[in-house]
Amino acid sequence: MTSFMPPADRIWWKVPVGREEIIWILIALTWCLIMFFMMPYWHIYGKQNLSNEAYQTTPAKFGAKVQEMIDQHKVGEEAGYPVVHPPAGSDIYMLARLWQWWPILELEKDKTYRLHLSSMDWQHGFSVQPININMQIVPGYEMVLTVTPDQAGEYGVVCNEYCGIGHHTMLGKIYVKE
Ligand SMILES: [Cu+2]
């Protein structure tokens, strides 16, 4: 009997299931359950997973907090961008807008920060290179990531949600100092 023929036995659900089929169902079910429980397991014990929080905000409110941090902790300027060195362990801010990640942040290695992200206009993607961090950033929501940079260096922030004609120029920077 082939599958495109109507079943010979109309009450097909009472036909005993073949042994191979049962084995396959059990393998698939076991794997499915492993994958399912890996999600919470990896969320808690996986080292690279982001435990993020989200809060409602407005572009004006968020912009004011970013500006406040810049005013208090600006240490320099680079290609028109303020370079900000906020105190270790503090709340730090970066905003997305057409077409910038603003400002440049300078962090200390092995210190934990609460990184707040939001957009001033529409959807952008916060992708930190060369590490595997990737967040959708939308206006009206403030995403908060708890981050502990453990390698010194210069990190690039690229936008990975197409956001218009200047999308490819939307590059930000995070410095991590020893
Ligand atoms: Cu963008």
State the amino acid at position 164 in one-letter form: G
The per-type count for the chain, helices as H runs and strands as E runs, is 2, 12
Architecture label for domain 52-177: Sandwich (2.60)
- Ligand 1 centre to CA of 160 (Å) is 6
Band of residue 48 on the pLDDT scale cut at 50, 70, 90: low
Write down the pLDDT at residue 42: 85
Q: For residue 104, which phi and psi values (nearest 5 degrees)?
A: -85, 130
Distances (CA, A) of 158 to 92, 95, 171: 18, 12, 5
Would you mind telling me the total number of residues written for the chain in this entry? 178
- Ligand 1 centre to CA of 103 (Å) is 15
- Ligand 1 centre to CA of 100 (Å) is 8
Q: How much is the pTM? A: 0.76
Write down the pLDDT at residue 141: 96
Ligand 1 ion: nearby residues, β-carbon < 5 Å: 124, 159, 163, 170
Distances (CA, A) of 14 to 8, 19, 142: 12, 15, 55
* Distance between CA atoms of residues 65 and 94, nearest Å: 10
- Ligand 1 centre to CA of 172 (Å) is 11
- Ligand 1 centre to CA of 121 (Å) is 10
- Region 33-39: what's the mean pLDDT? 95
- Region 140-167: what's the mean pLDDT? 94
Summarised one tens digit per residue, pLDDT across range 159-176 is 999 999 999 999 999 999
Does 2 score more than 70 pLDDT?
no
Does 54 score more than 90 pLDDT?
yes
List the chain domain ranges: 52-177
The Cα angle at residue 105 between residues 151 and 65, in degrees rounded to 5: 135
- Ligand 1 centre to CA of 178 (Å) is 30
Summarised one tens digit per residue, pLDDT across range 80-133 is 999 999 999 999 999 999 999 999 999 999 999 999 999 999 999 999 988 888
State the amino acid at position 32 in one-letter form: C
